[in-house]
């Protein structure tokens, strides 16, 4: 995946990589037939597995599939989505959590893709897991669901901090990014165990940086 153009779904929509993201979108749709997914976290077991790039491209394909998509940067430790889309993060998720008045008018940023809006991280707090686990966060999720067909969340790597496990209990599912040649089996197994311990629904895993033709895997 190009470092110069991380949004391959926009820079080269006819590429095999872009097609792989469309296949992922389709697989997620079929995987959720019995239990529809309106809110989804995309994360990884450990740092350095390109979860944010995978999520951003998935969000683009969701929007291109005519689904109103809100992308939320809930990685309040190392946010990256505002950099990928080239926008500011002065206001965002933390603004909504601490200022209830913003629930009626969320800081949605138009990123230039029809049907896609971004809520950046906002100012980084000293206590991310406490904010993500708060009742106010549940109100934020509800407010965003009213404006979208699907709300996608970026979140920190599972085994690094508790943030994702905490947030995972408030959404419909978690998708794990596995990076070929980088993700360690024991890290993935530990991440799954941590999520299952708090009864988070794992909808599957997507294999990133894989040989051509391999786009989707189980766990």
- Tens of pLDDT, residues 1-24: 334 479 999 999 999 999 999 999
**Cβ neighbours for 23, distance < 8 A, ≥ 6 positions apart:** 215, 216
Say how many domains are in the chain. Answer: 1
Give the CA distances from residue 32 to residues 43, 70, 177, in Å, rounded to whole numbers and listed in that order: 18, 18, 18
Question: Which two three-digit tokens encode residue 128?
Answer: 């991310």
Question: What pLDDT, on the 0 to 100 scale, is given for residue 175?
Answer: 97
Helix (H) or strand (E) holding 17: helix 16-31
Interval 98-125 mean pLDDT: 96
Residue 54 lies in a domain: yes
CATH code, domain with 123:
3.40.50.300
- Tens of pLDDT, residues 151-161: 999 999 999 99
pTM listed for this prediction: 0.92
Residue 51 lies in a domain: yes
Strand-pair category, 109-110 with 116-119: antiparallel
Residue 218 lies in a domain: no
Question: Which two three-digit tokens encode residue 89?
Answer: 């993060």
Contacts 24+ apart (CB under 8 A), 211-215: 211/180, 212/16, 214/180, 215/20, 215/23, 215/24
Other residues' Cβ atoms within 10 Å of the Cβ of residue 1: 15
Residue 215 lies in a domain: no
Residue 214 lies in a domain: no
- Tens of pLDDT, residues 39-93: 999 999 999 899 999 999 999 999 999 999 999 999 999 999 999 999 999 999 9
* High-pLDDT (> 90) share of the chain, %: 83
Distance CA 109, CA 117 (A): 5
Q: Which range of residues forms the domain containing residue 76?
A: 13-208
Residue 166 lies in a domain: yes
Does residue 214 register a pLDDT over 80? no
Residue 199 lies in a domain: yes
Residue 165 lies in a domain: yes
- Tens of pLDDT, residues 179-211: 888 889 999 999 999 999 999 999 999 988 776
Question: What pLDDT, on the 0 to 100 scale, is given for residue 31?
Answer: 76
CB 107 within 8 A of CB 95: yes
CB 165 within 8 A of CB 132: no
């Amino acid at each position: 995946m190009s470092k110069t153009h991380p949004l391959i779904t926009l820079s080269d929509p006819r590429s095999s990589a872009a097609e792989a993201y469309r296949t992922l979108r389709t697989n997620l749709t079929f995987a959720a037939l019995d239990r529809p997914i309106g809110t989804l976290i995309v994360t990884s077991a450990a740092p350095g597995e390109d979860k944010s790039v995978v999520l951003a491209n998935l969000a683009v394909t969701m929007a291109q599939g005519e689904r109103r998509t809100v992308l939320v940067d809930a990685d309040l430790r190392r946010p990256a989505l505002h950099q990928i889309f080239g926008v500011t993060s002065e206001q965002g998720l933390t603004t909504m959590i601490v200022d209830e008045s913003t629930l009626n008018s969320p800081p949605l940023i138009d990123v230039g893709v029809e049907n896609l809006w971004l809520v950046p991280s906002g100012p980084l707090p000293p206590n991310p897991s406490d904010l993500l686990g708060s009742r106010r966060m549940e109100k934020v999720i509800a407010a965003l669901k009213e404006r979208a067909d699907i709300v996608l969340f970026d979140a920190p790597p599972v085994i690094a901090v508790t943030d994702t496990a905490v947030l995972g209990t408030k959404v419909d599912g978690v998708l794990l990014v596995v990076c070929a040649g980088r993700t360690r089996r024991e890290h993935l197994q530990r991440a799954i165990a941590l999520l299952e311990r708090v009864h988070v629904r794992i909808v599957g895993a997507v294999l990133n940086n894989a040989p051509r033709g391999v786009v989707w895997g189980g766990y």
